Amino acid sequence: MPSVLLTGASRGLGLEFARQYAADGWHVIGTCRDPAGATELQAICRQAAGRNDGKIEIHALDAGDFAAVAALAERLSGVALDVVIANAGIWGPRSMSAEQIDAPGWAETFRINTMAPLALAGAFRPHLERGTQRKALALSSALASIGGNSSGGLYAYRSSKAALNAAWRSFAVDHPQLIAAVLQPGWVRTDMGGPGAPLAPAQSIAGLRRVIAGLTPANSGGFYSHDGSTHEW
Ligand SMILES: NC(=O)c1ccc[n+]([C@@H]2O[C@H](COP(=O)([O-])OP(=O)(O)OC[C@H]3O[C@@H](n4cnc5c(N)ncnc54)[C@H](OP(=O)(O)O)[C@@H]3O)[C@@H](O)[C@H]2O)c1
């Protein structure tokens, strides 16, 4: 049974990743800040157990608590992981401007969107090395693209995801035994994407799962969209 560990499994894209991987027979290790409040995740966990398809286990994890990330990696030492997905993310201060810098808000955005994914990848690298597929993914965004930025604004979010892309590329170069890539899910109807987004979580995640399944060592260090295309940096 292939295995996947992901952050932010409580709702949105993380919840959909958990649902689809479990339905496909995977062992899902879903992490979230408040497992007791993650009622949808608990429900698909029970359904997976009832249907005898993949299994889901849920662990409490604040992705921005790097000591907790290391402690969970230690608790799961010996476990082999095929795929690790740094999914948890935040908008940060959306209306920040050059004239009004929200330094703590911007720093927090970097902590969750840039540093936490790298901390996760570092902590679970040994588990991936024991796995078969050895894939480390992080959820980036089309808004991370510097070349594609023609609408401006969103300073904290854009810069934190662009920095994630840069950090993930270094991680890929430094760990050629793994396949490490950043993914953009499209604009999706989640709490973050809002109700007007064109893609349903099921569509986006079906696409991303196809992309992940098709990744080879030649793709390591890349930036890919949910439709399989290579994204502009
Ligand atoms: N939706 C889109 O259109 C879109 C587009 C491009 C990129 N993305 C990226 O895709 C990823 C998932 O987005 P989404 O749309 O599913 O967002 P969402 O609906 O806002 O859900 C965010 C998830 O991240 C979790 N999270 C936030 N901070 C956390 C922390 N410190 N520790 C652990 N979990 C934390 C949340 O957990 P709680 O329930 O505990 O708050 C929640 O599970 C993000 O990285 C986002 O930037 C989304």
According to the model, what pLDDT value does residue 50 have? Answer: 82
Looking at the chain, the whole-number percentage of residues with pLDDT higher than 70 is 100
Beta bridge partners of 183: 139, 224
Q: What is the pLDDT of residues 6-30, one digit of tens each?
A: 999 999 999 999 999 999 999 999 9
Indicate whether 158 belongs to any domain.
yes
- For the cut 80, the answer to whether the pLDDT of residue 202 exceeds it is yes
- Does some domain include residue 123? yes
Assigned domain for 233 exists: no
pLDDT of residue 47: 87
User: Is 167 within a domain?
Assistant: yes
pLDDT at 139 exceeding the cut of 90: yes
Distance (Å) from CA 12 to ligand 1 centroid: 7
Ligand 1 pocket, 115 CB below 6 A? no
Average pLDDT over every residue of 41-64: 89
pLDDT at 146: 97
Instruction: Calculate mean pLDDT across residues 89-112.
Output: 97
Cα distance between residue 25 and residue 123, in whole Å = 25
Is 232 inside a domain boundary? no
User: Which residues lie below 8 Å from residue 137, measured CB to CB, with a gap of 6+?
Assistant: 83, 84, 85, 86, 180, 181, 182, 183, 212
> Which ligand 1 atom is nearest residue 140's CA?
7
Ligand 1 atom, smallest distance to 38 CA: 39
65 CA: nearest ligand 1 atom: 31
Q: 62 in ligand 1 pocket by Cβ < 6 Å?
A: yes
pLDDT at 84: 98
Average pLDDT of the segment spanning 37-55: 87
Distance (Å) from CA 229 to ligand 1 centroid: 22
How many structural domains does the chain have? 1
User: Atom 8, ligand 1: which residue's CA is nearest?
Assistant: 141
Q: What is the pLDDT of residue 138?
A: 98
DSSP of 38-84: -HHHHHHHHHHHHHTSSEEEEEE--TT-HHHHHHHHHHTTT---SEE
Question: What rounded mean pLDDT belongs to the chain?
Answer: 97
Domain-located, residue 126: yes
Task: Domain of residue 178: give its range.
Answer: 3-225
pLDDT per position as a tens digit, 161-194:
999 999 999 999 999 999 999 999 999 999 999 9
At 75, the pLDDT band (50, 70, 90 cuts) reads very high
Locate the ligand 1 atom nearest the alpha carbon of residue 15 and give its number: 43
Residue 49: per-residue pLDDT: 83
User: For residues 111-121, b (16+ Cβ closer than 10 Å) or e, as one string?
Assistant: bbbbbbbbbbb
| pLDDT at residue 51 tops 80 | no
pLDDT tier for residue 48 given thresholds of 50, 70 and 90: confident
Please tell me if the CB atom of residue 64 comes closer than 6 angstroms to any atom of ligand 1. Answer: yes
pTM: predicted TM-score of the whole model, two decimal places: 0.98
Verify whether ligand 1 is closer than 6 Å to residue 44 (CB atom).
no
Amino acid at 226: H
Domain contains 200 = yes
CATH number for the domain spanning 179: value is 3.40.50.720
